[in-house]
Amino acid sequence: MKSRVQVNKKNILSGKKIGIGVTGSIAAYKSAEVVSYLHKHEVHVTVLMTQSAAKFITPLTFQTLSHNKVITDLFDDNYCFDPQHIALSEQLDLLLVAPASANIIGKIASGIADDILSTVITSLDISKVIIAPAMNEKMYLNPIVQKNITTLKKTGYHFIEPEKGSLACGFGIGRFPSLDKIIKEIESHIS
């Protein structure tokens, strides 16, 4: 199956280390396509999943697609000198949070770091984070969620706006962005 995304003659993503943060959203399965695309284009992909994300899609799916261990817990059973979140924040060229739930957006805006994803985001340079919200239209348009998004944009976080279209619960704004749009944003951010 051919990718819908045009491949640049010079692959600017090759050899980059990109984290994909997956949160609890029905759109979590769409992140698998992003991970697969990046891996096929020689990107070292590290997937970080919240516990809620694992209710929608298994870590094994991402492990198979990325060919890397999926990180689901802040406290890994294997001993490592460097705290995992600090080591990751120093290694990653970019972190894409997709789908970004209202919950993770609220955590970031409030400075809450209580799981692997929120902790890595908090320890990572803001310029290396892209957030792609995907949720029910009523949740996305909620004034508090919009306030959190505005706060994060003013702070310097980059957002990929959700699309309008079919949602799990109807039609509206909040749809996971297309693969083309996500890859273009990643390439633009990396270059």
Between CA 45 and CA 144 the distance in angstroms is 32
For the question of residue 80 being annotated catalytic, the response is no
pLDDT score recorded for residue 9: 43
Class in CATH terms, 17-190? alpha beta
**Which residue numbers in the chain have pLDDT < 50?**
1-2, 7-9, 79, 81-82
- Could you say which of 15, 55, 169, 170 is catalytic? 169
pLDDT score recorded for residue 8: 47
**Can you read off the two tokens belonging to residue 186?**
């990643």
- For the question of whether the overall pTM of this predicted structure is more than 0.85, the answer is yes
Instruction: Answer whether 132's CB lies under 8 Å from 177's CB.
Output: yes
pLDDT score recorded for residue 81: 41
Instruction: Answer whether 186's CB lies under 8 Å from 11's CB.
Output: no
Give residue-wise pLDDT tens across range 124-166: 999 999 999 999 999 999 999 999 999 999 999 999 999 887 7
Instruction: Answer whether 147's CB lies under 8 Å from 156's CB.
Output: no
Q: Where are the domains of the chain?
A: 17-190
pLDDT score recorded for residue 169: 77
